[in-house]
Amino acid sequence: MPLEIGLIGATGIAERTMLAPSLQRLDVTVRAVAASDPVRAKEYATKHAIPVVHQDYSSLLADPSIDTVHISLHNSAHHRWVVRAAVAGKTVIVEKPLCLTAEELAEITFAAEDVEVFEAVATAGHEWQRTVREFIADERYGALESVATRTTFAVPAAGGYRDRRELGGGVFFDNASYWLQALQSTVGLDVVASSGSSDFDGPDGVDRSFSASLRWATGVQATLVCDVGPDHRSEHLFTFERATVKLRNFLRPVVGAVPLNLVITAEDRQVLSFPASSYYDRQLAAIADGTADGLTVAAPRIRLMAEIYQDARGN
Protein backbone atom coordinates (compact mmCIF):
# COMPACT_ATOMS: atom_id res chain seq x y z
CA MET A 1 0.00 0.00 0.00
CA PRO A 2 1.32 3.53 -0.73
CA LEU A 3 2.49 5.21 2.46
CA GLU A 4 2.61 8.93 3.21
CA ILE A 5 4.57 8.90 6.45
CA GLY A 6 4.82 11.44 9.24
CA LEU A 7 7.59 10.98 11.80
CA ILE A 8 6.79 11.50 15.47
CA GLY A 9 10.35 11.84 16.69
CA ALA A 10 13.37 13.29 14.89
CA THR A 11 15.58 10.36 15.80
CA GLY A 12 18.46 8.23 14.62
CA ILE A 13 16.32 5.11 14.55
CA ALA A 14 13.83 6.86 12.23
CA GLU A 15 16.73 7.53 9.86
CA ARG A 16 17.52 3.81 9.77
CA THR A 17 14.02 2.34 9.79
CA MET A 18 12.07 4.83 7.68
CA LEU A 19 14.17 7.40 5.85
CA ALA A 20 16.89 5.22 4.33
CA PRO A 21 14.57 2.35 3.29
CA SER A 22 11.99 4.76 1.85
CA LEU A 23 14.55 5.88 -0.73
CA GLN A 24 14.40 2.38 -2.22
CA ARG A 25 10.64 2.50 -2.85
CA LEU A 26 8.37 4.53 -5.11
CA ASP A 27 5.32 3.82 -2.94
CA VAL A 28 6.69 5.28 0.31
CA THR A 29 7.23 8.97 1.06
CA VAL A 30 8.36 10.49 4.35
CA ARG A 31 6.35 13.70 4.12
CA ALA A 32 6.50 15.32 7.56
CA VAL A 33 8.27 15.33 10.92
CA ALA A 34 7.59 16.64 14.41
CA ALA A 35 9.83 16.61 17.49
CA SER A 36 9.64 17.80 21.08
CA ASP A 37 11.84 20.71 19.94
CA PRO A 38 10.55 22.44 16.77
CA VAL A 39 14.02 23.81 16.00
CA ARG A 40 15.46 20.31 16.04
CA ALA A 41 12.60 19.11 13.83
CA LYS A 42 13.38 21.83 11.29
CA GLU A 43 17.09 20.96 11.27
CA TYR A 44 16.23 17.27 10.86
CA ALA A 45 13.84 18.04 7.99
CA THR A 46 16.49 20.11 6.22
CA LYS A 47 19.06 17.35 6.61
CA HIS A 48 16.75 14.69 5.20
CA ALA A 49 14.76 16.77 2.68
CA ILE A 50 11.46 16.25 4.50
CA PRO A 51 9.02 18.80 3.05
CA VAL A 52 6.80 19.53 6.07
CA VAL A 53 7.71 20.39 9.67
CA HIS A 54 4.96 20.41 12.28
CA GLN A 55 5.23 22.38 15.50
CA ASP A 56 4.08 19.46 17.64
CA TYR A 57 2.89 15.88 17.44
CA SER A 58 -0.81 16.78 17.58
CA SER A 59 -0.60 19.02 14.52
CA LEU A 60 1.16 16.22 12.61
CA LEU A 61 -1.69 13.85 13.48
CA ALA A 62 -4.17 16.42 12.17
CA ASP A 63 -2.39 16.62 8.80
CA PRO A 64 -4.72 15.07 6.19
CA SER A 65 -1.83 14.37 3.80
CA ILE A 66 -0.37 11.88 6.32
CA ASP A 67 -1.86 8.39 6.34
CA THR A 68 0.87 6.62 8.32
CA VAL A 69 2.71 7.65 11.48
CA HIS A 70 6.07 6.33 12.65
CA ILE A 71 6.67 6.69 16.41
CA SER A 72 10.22 6.56 17.76
CA LEU A 73 9.95 8.19 21.18
CA HIS A 74 11.11 6.86 24.56
CA ASN A 75 9.35 3.63 25.55
CA SER A 76 6.90 5.10 28.04
CA ALA A 77 5.51 7.49 25.38
CA HIS A 78 4.69 4.78 22.84
CA HIS A 79 1.28 3.90 24.25
CA ARG A 80 0.03 7.49 24.44
CA TRP A 81 0.93 8.39 20.88
CA VAL A 82 -0.12 5.06 19.37
CA VAL A 83 -3.57 5.61 20.86
CA ARG A 84 -3.76 9.20 19.62
CA ALA A 85 -2.56 8.26 16.15
CA ALA A 86 -5.06 5.40 15.94
CA VAL A 87 -7.91 7.67 17.05
CA ALA A 88 -6.82 10.09 14.31
CA GLY A 89 -7.29 7.27 11.81
CA LYS A 90 -3.62 6.81 10.95
CA THR A 91 -1.79 3.56 10.26
CA VAL A 92 0.79 3.28 13.03
CA ILE A 93 4.36 1.97 12.95
CA VAL A 94 5.90 2.10 16.43
CA GLU A 95 9.38 1.09 17.44
CA LYS A 96 9.56 -1.83 19.83
CA PRO A 97 8.27 -2.33 22.42
CA LEU A 98 4.77 -1.45 21.30
CA CYS A 99 3.92 -0.50 24.90
CA LEU A 100 4.90 -1.55 28.42
CA THR A 101 1.88 -3.04 30.22
CA ALA A 102 -1.18 -5.18 29.59
CA GLU A 103 -3.36 -2.20 30.49
CA GLU A 104 -1.68 -0.05 27.85
CA LEU A 105 -2.11 -2.85 25.32
CA ALA A 106 -5.85 -3.03 26.06
CA GLU A 107 -6.22 0.70 25.40
CA ILE A 108 -4.30 0.44 22.13
CA THR A 109 -6.40 -2.53 21.01
CA PHE A 110 -9.60 -0.59 21.69
CA ALA A 111 -8.37 2.55 19.90
CA ALA A 112 -7.03 0.63 16.90
CA GLU A 113 -10.17 -1.27 16.00
CA ASP A 114 -10.31 0.32 12.54
CA VAL A 115 -6.62 0.95 11.80
CA GLU A 116 -3.43 -1.07 11.43
CA VAL A 117 -0.75 -0.98 14.13
CA PHE A 118 2.70 -2.48 13.52
CA GLU A 119 5.34 -3.06 16.17
CA ALA A 120 8.69 -2.51 14.44
CA VAL A 121 10.76 -5.59 15.29
CA ALA A 122 13.40 -5.45 12.58
CA THR A 123 14.45 -9.10 12.91
CA ALA A 124 10.94 -10.45 12.29
CA GLY A 125 10.24 -12.56 9.24
CA HIS A 126 13.80 -13.57 8.40
CA GLU A 127 14.16 -16.84 6.52
CA TRP A 128 16.09 -18.47 9.38
CA GLN A 129 12.92 -18.48 11.47
CA ARG A 130 10.98 -20.49 8.88
CA THR A 131 13.90 -22.93 8.63
CA VAL A 132 14.05 -23.56 12.38
CA ARG A 133 10.27 -23.85 12.52
CA GLU A 134 10.52 -26.64 9.93
CA PHE A 135 13.20 -28.40 12.01
CA ILE A 136 10.84 -28.34 14.99
CA ALA A 137 7.83 -29.52 13.01
CA ASP A 138 9.42 -32.44 11.16
CA GLU A 139 11.68 -33.50 14.07
CA ARG A 140 14.56 -34.34 11.75
CA TYR A 141 16.89 -33.83 14.73
CA GLY A 142 14.46 -35.21 17.29
CA ALA A 143 12.25 -33.17 19.56
CA LEU A 144 13.19 -29.64 20.55
CA GLU A 145 14.38 -29.53 24.17
CA SER A 146 15.39 -25.93 24.85
CA VAL A 147 16.14 -22.50 23.42
CA ALA A 148 18.80 -20.28 24.98
CA THR A 149 19.18 -16.65 23.94
CA ARG A 150 22.08 -14.44 25.02
CA THR A 151 22.45 -10.75 24.21
CA THR A 152 24.74 -7.92 25.25
CA PHE A 153 24.04 -4.36 24.14
CA ALA A 154 26.25 -1.30 24.42
CA VAL A 155 26.24 0.62 27.69
CA PRO A 156 23.60 3.36 27.28
CA ALA A 157 24.68 6.94 26.81
CA ALA A 158 24.63 8.89 30.07
CA GLY A 159 21.35 10.69 30.66
CA GLY A 160 19.41 8.81 28.00
CA TYR A 161 15.98 7.25 28.47
CA ARG A 162 17.43 3.75 28.77
CA ASP A 163 18.70 4.64 32.26
CA ARG A 164 15.47 6.28 33.41
CA ARG A 165 12.83 4.01 34.87
CA GLU A 166 9.96 6.47 34.38
CA LEU A 167 10.72 6.56 30.64
CA GLY A 168 10.60 2.78 30.25
CA GLY A 169 14.34 2.23 30.43
CA GLY A 170 16.17 -1.00 31.11
CA VAL A 171 17.81 -3.72 29.06
CA PHE A 172 14.84 -6.13 29.17
CA PHE A 173 12.52 -3.75 27.32
CA ASP A 174 15.28 -3.33 24.72
CA ASN A 175 15.50 -7.11 24.22
CA ALA A 176 12.08 -8.60 24.93
CA SER A 177 10.45 -8.02 21.55
CA TYR A 178 13.37 -9.55 19.64
CA TRP A 179 13.45 -12.59 21.94
CA LEU A 180 9.72 -13.19 22.06
CA GLN A 181 9.21 -12.64 18.34
CA ALA A 182 11.85 -15.27 17.55
CA LEU A 183 10.16 -17.74 19.89
CA GLN A 184 6.70 -16.87 18.60
CA SER A 185 7.81 -17.56 15.03
CA THR A 186 9.52 -20.87 15.82
CA VAL A 187 8.04 -22.51 18.94
CA GLY A 188 4.92 -20.42 19.51
CA LEU A 189 3.99 -18.56 22.69
CA ASP A 190 1.46 -20.93 24.25
CA VAL A 191 3.59 -21.21 27.39
CA VAL A 192 2.46 -22.63 30.73
CA ALA A 193 4.96 -20.80 32.96
CA SER A 194 7.12 -17.68 32.81
CA SER A 195 9.49 -15.87 35.16
CA GLY A 196 11.91 -12.97 35.25
CA SER A 197 14.65 -11.74 37.56
CA SER A 198 16.94 -8.76 37.88
CA ASP A 199 18.76 -6.90 40.64
CA PHE A 200 17.57 -3.61 39.14
CA ASP A 201 20.85 -2.10 40.24
CA GLY A 202 21.36 0.21 37.28
CA PRO A 203 20.92 3.99 37.37
CA ASP A 204 17.48 5.04 38.65
CA GLY A 205 16.76 1.41 39.53
CA VAL A 206 16.64 0.17 35.94
CA ASP A 207 17.79 -3.29 34.90
CA ARG A 208 21.20 -3.45 33.26
CA SER A 209 21.03 -7.23 33.43
CA PHE A 210 17.95 -9.44 33.22
CA SER A 211 17.16 -13.15 33.10
CA ALA A 212 13.89 -14.63 31.91
CA SER A 213 12.53 -18.10 31.30
CA LEU A 214 9.52 -19.74 29.67
CA ARG A 215 8.20 -23.29 29.78
CA TRP A 216 5.81 -25.10 27.45
CA ALA A 217 3.54 -28.04 28.30
CA THR A 218 5.81 -30.25 26.17
CA GLY A 219 8.69 -29.58 28.58
CA VAL A 220 10.55 -27.25 26.21
CA GLN A 221 12.22 -24.39 28.07
CA ALA A 222 13.47 -21.06 26.73
CA THR A 223 15.79 -18.70 28.54
CA LEU A 224 17.00 -15.17 27.96
CA VAL A 225 20.08 -13.63 29.53
CA CYS A 226 20.61 -10.00 28.51
CA ASP A 227 22.86 -7.25 29.77
CA VAL A 228 24.96 -4.27 28.72
CA GLY A 229 28.70 -4.32 28.18
CA PRO A 230 31.59 -3.37 25.93
CA ASP A 231 31.19 -6.22 23.42
CA HIS A 232 28.00 -6.64 21.41
CA ARG A 233 26.56 -10.15 21.43
CA SER A 234 23.37 -11.76 20.13
CA GLU A 235 22.79 -15.47 19.68
CA HIS A 236 20.09 -18.13 19.80
CA LEU A 237 20.87 -21.77 20.58
CA PHE A 238 18.18 -24.36 19.81
CA THR A 239 18.92 -27.73 21.41
CA PHE A 240 17.25 -30.79 19.91
CA GLU A 241 17.57 -34.43 20.96
CA ARG A 242 20.19 -35.11 18.30
CA ALA A 243 21.57 -31.70 17.34
CA THR A 244 22.15 -28.11 18.28
CA VAL A 245 21.29 -25.22 15.98
CA LYS A 246 23.06 -21.95 16.69
CA LEU A 247 22.43 -18.53 15.19
CA ARG A 248 25.03 -15.91 16.05
CA ASN A 249 24.80 -12.17 15.45
CA PHE A 250 21.08 -12.21 14.74
CA LEU A 251 21.01 -8.54 15.69
CA ARG A 252 23.97 -6.37 14.75
CA PRO A 253 24.45 -2.65 15.48
CA VAL A 254 24.99 -1.88 11.80
CA VAL A 255 23.01 -0.49 8.90
CA GLY A 256 22.94 -2.35 5.62
CA ALA A 257 22.78 -5.91 4.37
CA VAL A 258 23.72 -8.55 6.94
CA PRO A 259 24.40 -12.25 6.18
CA LEU A 260 23.29 -14.89 8.68
CA ASN A 261 24.35 -18.50 9.22
CA LEU A 262 22.68 -21.36 11.06
CA VAL A 263 25.33 -23.72 12.44
CA ILE A 264 23.92 -27.22 12.86
CA THR A 265 25.99 -29.61 14.96
CA ALA A 266 24.80 -33.21 14.84
CA GLU A 267 26.88 -36.19 13.68
CA ASP A 268 28.73 -33.63 11.63
CA ARG A 269 28.76 -29.85 11.36
CA GLN A 270 26.69 -28.10 8.72
CA VAL A 271 26.34 -24.39 7.98
CA LEU A 272 23.19 -23.04 6.35
CA SER A 273 23.92 -19.59 4.92
CA PHE A 274 21.29 -16.98 4.13
CA PRO A 275 21.95 -14.19 1.65
CA ALA A 276 22.80 -10.80 3.09
CA SER A 277 19.73 -8.62 3.51
CA SER A 278 18.84 -5.38 5.24
CA TYR A 279 16.51 -5.76 8.21
CA TYR A 280 15.14 -2.25 7.79
CA ASP A 281 14.54 -2.53 4.04
CA ARG A 282 12.72 -5.82 4.57
CA GLN A 283 10.65 -4.44 7.43
CA LEU A 284 9.38 -1.41 5.52
CA ALA A 285 8.74 -3.54 2.43
CA ALA A 286 6.58 -5.95 4.44
CA ILE A 287 4.50 -3.07 5.82
CA ALA A 288 4.11 -1.39 2.43
CA ASP A 289 3.32 -4.69 0.69
CA GLY A 290 0.74 -5.69 3.30
CA THR A 291 2.55 -8.81 4.50
CA ALA A 292 3.74 -7.58 7.92
CA ASP A 293 2.22 -8.94 11.12
CA GLY A 294 -0.05 -6.49 12.90
CA LEU A 295 -1.42 -5.95 16.38
CA THR A 296 -3.01 -9.39 16.71
CA VAL A 297 0.42 -11.01 16.44
CA ALA A 298 2.22 -8.41 18.56
CA ALA A 299 -0.28 -8.51 21.42
CA PRO A 300 0.72 -11.92 22.90
CA ARG A 301 4.37 -10.77 22.96
CA ILE A 302 3.49 -7.64 24.91
CA ARG A 303 1.32 -9.51 27.42
CA LEU A 304 4.11 -11.99 28.08
CA MET A 305 6.76 -9.27 28.28
CA ALA A 306 4.70 -7.37 30.84
CA GLU A 307 4.08 -10.54 32.87
CA ILE A 308 7.79 -11.39 32.99
CA TYR A 309 8.78 -7.84 33.94
CA GLN A 310 6.18 -7.66 36.70
CA ASP A 311 7.41 -10.99 38.07
CA ALA A 312 10.93 -9.62 38.26
CA ARG A 313 9.70 -6.47 40.01
CA GLY A 314 7.82 -8.64 42.48
CA ASN A 315 4.34 -7.33 41.77
Where residue 265 sits, what CATH number does that domain have? 3.30.360.10
Q: What is the pLDDT of residues 79-93, one digit of tens each?
A: 999 999 999 999 999
Please state the domain count of the chain. 2
Mean pLDDT to the nearest integer, 239-246: 98
Query: E-strand spans in the chain?
Result: 3-8, 28-34, 52-53, 68-71, 91-95, 117-120, 144-153, 193-197, 209-215, 221-228, 233-240, 244-248, 257-265, 269-278
Mean pLDDT to the nearest integer, 192-213: 97
The residue out of 120, 154, 182 marking a domain boundary is 120
Residue numbers of the domain that contains 209: 127-276+293-313
Any domain includes 12: yes
Q: What is the pLDDT of residues 170-198, one digit of tens each?
A: 999 999 999 999 999 999 999 999 999 99
Q: What is the pLDDT of residues 46-57, one digit of tens each?
A: 999 999 999 999
Where residue 66 sits, what CATH number does that domain have? 3.40.50.720
- Residues 61 and 41 grouped into a single domain: yes
pTM as predicted: 0.96
Residue 62 has pLDDT above 80, yes or no: yes
152-156, 194-198, 304-308: the lowest-pLDDT one? 152-156
Mean pLDDT to the nearest integer, 202-216: 97
Residue 255 has pLDDT above 90, yes or no: no
pLDDT (0 to 100) of residue 117:
98
The residue out of 68, 102, 120 marking a domain boundary is 120
pLDDT (0 to 100) of residue 253:
67
The DSSP call for residue 15 is I
- Smallest CA-to-CA distance from 115 within 95, 90, 97, 96 is with 90
